[in-house]
Structure 1
Amino acid sequence: MRFRRSAAAIVAVLALALVSACNNDKAGQNGDASLQKITYLTSFNTFGREAYAYVALEKGYFKDAGFDVTIKPGSGTVDVLKLVAGGQADYGIGDFTAILITMGKQKMPVTTVGMIHQRSMAAIVALKGGSINTPQDLAGKKIGDQPGSTNTVMFPLYAKAAGIKGWETTKFVPSPPPALPQLLAAGTVDGIGQFVVGVPTVEKADPKHRQAVVLPYGDKLPDLYGNAIITRSDLAKDHPDQVKKFTSALLKGLQDTINDPEGAAKILQKYDPKRTVDGSVAELNLMKPYVKPDGFTGELGEADGERVERIIKALENAGEIKPAGSLNPAEVVDRDLAPKG
């Protein structure tokens, strides 16, 4: 099944979402009929932060669980949602808040089955010596980001929580993600949407070697989760054992990754030679406290039902989704399948 990017193709596939096959009866790509063929989308490209999926693949965790997994680079939460909902992928990764905001506007047959990050990694990043040093400086500024990205979708919520006056005048400039650090360094934009783990890449791209100014959304919105594991609702309902096995294998790769960032970075480089080991290690070290924050004693990947309800309520109060039950927590997170604390 080819990874198709065009909006028209996505719309057409969405129309068939509820009747699309789950691929459960297909033989794996290696010809082993005992393995189920699974397509998985990263949250965004193949940056270091995505290494855990390749660790699970390389170490045989997916195969041990009965899957022949094909990993494809995602292009942001909204696209990943549409592709999973449309049957072009079985599992994917997306920012949980962006998932809620998107599903609050457009119902999709997807559900969350685990959390990669217990805290949001979304942020606005600038460079020292520029025009952005605090959240209040964002009004009227130009921020480079991909349309529909997590940082773009979540910005109004962050701006309101941070009390930014005139935040509506902040302009998000559509920009290709690989070019964001260079656009920032050149002064074409004042800041960029970025996960905090992308800071080393941003600083490395600046010929003046300036330090980054990081404005994490999580500082103002501590309840927010980061990336989450999603799958189709029908797959979760009809094949819960498969979902649990896949999620368990993926989280096993995540645990190994935060235990051994260098080993994970070397595995990622094997699959994507463009990724340097040092760069990926830097990202993974920054990511670790978001996977298991200080004071977190729960199970890796857990989703807390009460916390999900608080996030939905906050989004309703901020006007990002319609109030009065527009989102059912039980539909957006399958608590029977997500790890529990």
Structure 2
Amino acid sequence: MRLRRSAVALMAVLGLALVSACNNSSDNEGSGDKDSQGLQKVSYLTSFNTFGREAYAYVALEKGYFKDAGFDVTISPGSGTVDVMKLVAGGQADYGIGDFTAFAITLGKQKLPVTTVGMIHQRSLAAIVSLEGYGITKPEDLIGKRIGDQPGSTNTVMFPVYAKAAGIPADKTQFIPSPPAGLPNLLAAGKVQGIGQFVVGIPLVEKAAKKKAVVLPYGDKLPDLYGNAIITRSDLAKDHPDQVKKFTGALLKGLQDTIDDPAAAAEILKKYVPQTDVGVATKELELMKPYVKPDGFNEPLGAVDPTRVQKILTTLDQAGAIEPAGTIKPADVVTIDLAPKG
């Protein structure tokens, strides 16, 4: 989706002047083309479809935060952390959202030119979600069960780490490849006993199933994990740090407004994604707020603690999620200098 372009001639002239000024600046921020208003064209991927939890990007778009920062942003739905990483690495998107732990695990398996520059969630939202009567009430119940999820999604990639922390064999749970949008209905139909889902997805699941959800949050066993992080290409972070900071700042303004007024954010999401159920999206965002800004969290939104990053990597090493152990360092997964600071 593009910001509306002005047809006024004066704006075009000013846009050309701005392009000229930027091109002559020592801080040229170009990673792509500019529109008629001199705005940098930027592509952005959500983490997972266009559920309510993704509303903050549309809020930043609707309220002009991206435009004020100098960007003409196109938002497209992502399909899981691994896919988002690959698309950003390949230049099909400039920025994206993905789970930080899944990001680190993936980089341990394949070297992609991507980095993270801030955290959307200070706590992990990853979970296995089931329904009452499906025989799942605790981690041990996952043994022998079928779990629907998008291949490469956060929940699938992280499951072995969760399983180890929970003391269950990861290979005794079968993951069934399923598209994101169909997961709640797949669960409701009883074709699987659980689905990979964020904890904020409970309202959507319960609406589809007309039953009470049962949730096994990964964070219960792995409390130090971050949730979603802002992803960009390594070269963009290195060569155009000011652009990255401005984009991140605009996105986080949208995030702040979203947790301040979830209902208004859900209405904005519906404007851009007409199939949005405003009631469900509002409930998702209300559930998301304590993950964005937990009790006792006094840092700016998006902040990253390098000590905590190292602790997460150590946990992944001990779980055998990164092989050989110790090959991934904090600097490999996050550009600390670009993360928001108090």
Q: TM-score normalised to the size of structure 2?
A: 0.90
Larger Rg computed on CA atoms: 2
Secondary structure of 2:270's partner?
A: helix
Residue 63 of structure 1 is matched in structure 2 by 67
Task: Find the counterpart in structure 1 of residue 136 from structure 2.
Answer: 132
Aligned match of 2:177: 174
1:15-34 aligned at under 5 Å gives the runs 24=31, 26-28=33-35, 31-32=36-37, 34=38
- 5 Å-filtered alignment, 1:1-341, equals 24=31, 26-28=33-35, 31-32=36-37, 34-164=38-168, 166-206=169-209, 209-341=210-342
Task: Name the SS for the 1:336 alignment partner.
Answer: helix
In structure 2, how many angstroms separate the alpha carbons of the residues matched to 1:201 and 1:155? 22
2:86 maps to a residue whose letter is: K
Distance 1:234 1:167 in 2: 36
Question: Is this contact kept in 2: 1:317–1:323, CA < 8 A?
Answer: no
Question: Could you tell me which amino acid in structure 2 is paired with residue 88 of structure 1?
Answer: Q
Q: Which runs of 4+ in 1 moved over 2 A?
A: 22-25
The Cα offsets for residues 9-59 of structure 1, whole Å up to 9 and x where unpaired, read as xxxxxxxxxxxxx9535122xx21x21110011101111100000000000
Cα pair 2:79 2:180 within 8 Å, conserved: no
SS of 2:336's partner is coil
Unaligned runs of 5+ in 2: 1-28
2-structure distance, mates of 1:273, 1:312: 40
| Deviation sequence 1:196-225 (CA, Å, 0-9, x none) | 11111111111xx22000000001101100
Q: Percent identity among equivalent residues?
A: 73
Conservation of the 8 A alpha-carbon contact between 2:95 and 2:231: yes
Deviation digits for residues 226-278 of structure 1 (CA, Å, limit 9, x no counterpart): 00001000000000000000000000000000001111111110001100211
One-letter code of the match for 2:46?
T
In 2, the alpha carbon distance for the partners of 1:89 and 1:226 equals 21
Looking at structure 1, the residues matched to 179 and 75 of structure 2 have their Cα atoms a distance apart, in angstroms, of 22
Q: In 1, distance between residues paired with 2:230 and 2:161?
A: 22
Contact kept, 8 Å, 2:45 with 2:95, in 1: the verdict is yes
Deviation of residue 184 (structure 1)? 1.1
How many corresponding residue pairs? 314
8 Å Cα contact 2:79/2:150 also seen in 1: no
